[in-house]
Amino acid sequence: QKEVEQDPGPLSVPEGAIVSLNCTYSNSAFQYFMWYRQYSRKGPELLMYTYSSGNKEDGRFTAQVDKSSKYISLFIRDSQPSDSATYLCATRTQGGSEKLVFGKGTKLTVNP
Amino acid sequence: ETGVTQSPTHLIKTRGQQVTLRCSSQSGHNTVSWYQQALGQGPQFIFQYYREEENGRGNFPPRFSGLQFPNYSSELNVNALELDDSALYLCASSWTGSTDTQYFGPGTRLTVL
């Protein structure tokens, strides 16, 4: 079993739709949770970063963490064509080498 | 912009050759991590350097090695290249001991023929 599971999609939605992206993880030692956005042939760009269970909102983006079910989500409201990218969930433990463990990424296309 | 830069942008090598990839970390960050991202996959952790010493390694063979320098620059060296080494190589900088996360550079795309 992979440490972080993420449906690779692809996911195609119309402009203005609400997008839901999800990951599950297996290691209860993971304490920090991130969502990165990666445009084609570019490096990952940090979108959201959370530590505890609950919701964190930043503009049109909401990150949700449920540690009891080991489930993390990213919601995008009023999606735009510029949101078309691959979204990577990532997590890490507290301390140690701080290596990030990534999901495979979900490729999202928002159609005008 | 994260302030993390990488060079070269892309390069092509043949099997058996050696390659050196370079990274310049964000100013003030004392830790650099390297990741390999194969096509259609998430990044995989190669290793991390903290204060010029290796501080954790993923499941990669010893032919993957690195260096970190005091001026916030670092290198990833790969010897005896194999076809499966073709990937996007990413470096990420961070400040060890903080709760902050890692910030990635644009990557170097390596093709091994």
Predicted local confidence at residue A9, as pLDDT: 87
Query: Does the beta carbon of B99 lie under 8 angstroms from any beta carbon of chain A?
Result: yes
Close Cβ partners of A33 (under 8 Å, ≥ 6 residues apart):
A49, A50, A51, A63, A65, A72, A89, A90, A91
Inter-chain touch B45–A46, beta carbons under 8 Å? no
Confidence class for position A95, pLDDT limits 50, 70, 90: low
Q: Where is pLDDT greater, at A43 or B101?
A: A43
Chain B interface, mutation test: which of A23, A30, A42, A97, most B Cβ atoms within 10 Å?
A97
Chain A interface, mutation test: which of B31, B41, B111, most A Cβ atoms within 10 Å?
B41
B84 has a pLDDT exceeding 70? yes
Question: Mean per-residue pLDDT for B26-52?
Answer: 91
Predicted local confidence at residue B1, as pLDDT: 67
Confidence class for position A44, pLDDT limits 50, 70, 90: very high
